[in-house]
Amino acid sequence: MTGLVLESSTTSAKAMIYDTGTGRVEVRTAPFVFAGGDAAVQDAGSVFEQTAALGRQLCANRRVDVISLSGTWHSVMLLDRGLRPATPVYQWPYTGAEALCAELRRDEALTDWFYRRTGCMVSAIFPAFKLMHLARQGYDLAGHCAAGQGTYNFYRLTGQFAETACMASGTGLLNIYTRDYDDEVLRFVGIARESLPRLVGFGDVQPLSGSGAAALGLPAGIPVVPCGADGGLNQIGAGADRPGIMTFSAGTSGALRLTVKQPALADDRSLWCYLSPVSWLAGAATSGCCNCVDWARERFFGGVAYDDVEQGLPRGPEDTPVFLPFLFGERCPGWNAARQGAFIGMTARHDAHDLYHGVLEGALYNLFQCYQKLCATVGTPREIRLSGGILNSAYWTQMAADIFGAPMVCADMPHASLIGAAMLGAQGLGGKFDFFNAQAGKVVYPRPEMTARYAEKYARYLEAYERG
């Protein structure tokens, strides 16, 4: 069986073709090209067309038996009743609703009510509040439909306006317990159930339509699996779709994800909880990670490679400034998009290497802060699988193990979400995607003496964090 996977991420199109008989896998990626270059506000039609074009190139002159889709959580746009885009698609980094959310968060009871029902915080990230913001801008929600990019891609390929509960759980419109849209939340937001995609399961495959076939250069009728969220699909592709295995993605932003058997919500609302393709997914995400490190490399060293910078780094946290990694605002644990970054304790004796070291630490301290919240809520994972841009730096990877005080399994899985979608596609046709097994890479172990030294510095980070 040969399958095609298409993914529209925040910044690029991805396509993968795989053959379960031969074990052959081929992946292509292409950055999106947008007028203005704003990754937070995009043209949905252009995103689909660029993604489809990449898929068409990859599967040219090849038979395809099934098509699977992956997309990002938290995107949304308005469509007219003919399902033509009426607004751009607003991706997760879009913060237009932040003033609204700050206003709503003053009501503690409302904030808790929303979180306990949806697993989502009152935050500008979530489509529920993007929709409320659009209504404040004069858009008539009653006269429109609403959907994210992944759901729109599925519609363009099949003609079906349908969405998985996995994808919908990242909107703030789904009840995390019933796995259905929450009517009370819908009334609060001001959008009707009829304006939203029909909820379906991953097994509800639909035939490729004539227009979808033309976009991909394939015959009509090929089964298309409804779009899954890349974060949920990542758990499957990484072999972390069972409790006890935490994925630690340190890429542009940071994310910790742990499969759980039932909804898991933090007392202080510091975590999120969504639906994965197989269960629930508890976790936390930070806005600053490799993006902060890249900023520091560019500002302090002209963008040279990690290895070149690391030659001059101090070998411990002593006497380096505390860095608050909120150059791009804060998601977990405090959900404060207005929070700003800062160096604390910087003196004239500090040089660029000291500051850079502080940035590496600060990004990990924020994630460790989230990790402690996650452990307090769902227990300590038995294994942590580390992936993302952090693996480009052996120094930073070792620092992660030291700060967390836990072994880091270096799982170099750049396409785990595509693999997860492929597995669902194969299963949807009654087949197996068993030629791929998530392979654990090398293990980086913490150094107890360094863990103790970083713990002292982490206490200073928390003090600075609490001061705001």
User: Which residue's entry shows tokens 């654990």?
Assistant: 440
Note if the pTM is more than 0.75: yes
Average pLDDT over residues 190-219: 97
Whether residues 167 and 31 fall in one domain: yes
Q: Is residue 338 part of a domain?
A: yes
- The gap from C-alpha 37 to its chain's centroid, in whole angstroms, comes to 20
Q: What is the pLDDT of residue 466?
A: 95
Q: Is residue 431 part of a domain?
A: no
pLDDT in tens, 117-146: 999 999 999 999 999 999 999 999 999 999
pLDDT in tens, 181-202: 999 999 999 999 999 999 999 9
- For residues 18 and 165, is the Cβ–Cβ distance under 8 A? no
Q: Which of 231, 249, 275 is the last residue of a domain?
A: 231
Round the average pLDDT of the chain to a whole number and report it. Answer: 93
Whether residues 184 and 317 fall in one domain: no
Whether residues 226 and 296 fall in one domain: no
Q: What is the pLDDT of residue 412?
A: 66
Domain span at 292? 286-409+445-467
Q: Which of 167, 197, 231 is the last residue of a domain?
A: 231
Q: Is residue 144 part of a domain?
A: yes
Whether residues 310 and 383 fall in one domain: yes
Find, among 37, 7, 135, 1, the residue nearest to 420 by Cα: 7
> What domain count does the chain have?
2
Q: What is the pLDDT of residue 227?
A: 97
Whether residues 197 and 64 fall in one domain: yes
Q: What is the CATH number of the domain that holds 132?
A: 3.30.420.40
Whether residues 191 and 321 fall in one domain: no
Q: Is residue 277 part of a domain?
A: no
pLDDT in tens, 87-125: 999 998 898 999 999 999 999 999 999 999 999 999 999
pLDDT class for 31, splitting at 50, 70, 90?
very high
Q: Which of 209, 231, 253 is the last residue of a domain?
A: 231
- For residues 227 and 167, is the Cβ–Cβ distance under 8 A? yes
Whether residues 303 and 380 fall in one domain: yes
Q: Is residue 11 part of a domain?
A: yes
Whether residues 90 and 178 fall in one domain: yes
Average pLDDT over residues 340-358: 95
Whether residues 201 and 317 fall in one domain: no
Q: What is the pLDDT of residue 19?
A: 87
Select, from the ranges 21-30, 79-88, 228-237, the one with the highest average predicted confidence (pLDDT).
79-88
- Return all residues near 430 (Cβ < 8 A) that are at least 6 apart: none
Q: Phi and psi of 65, rounded to 5°?
A: -95, -25
Q: What is the pLDDT of residue 37?
A: 67
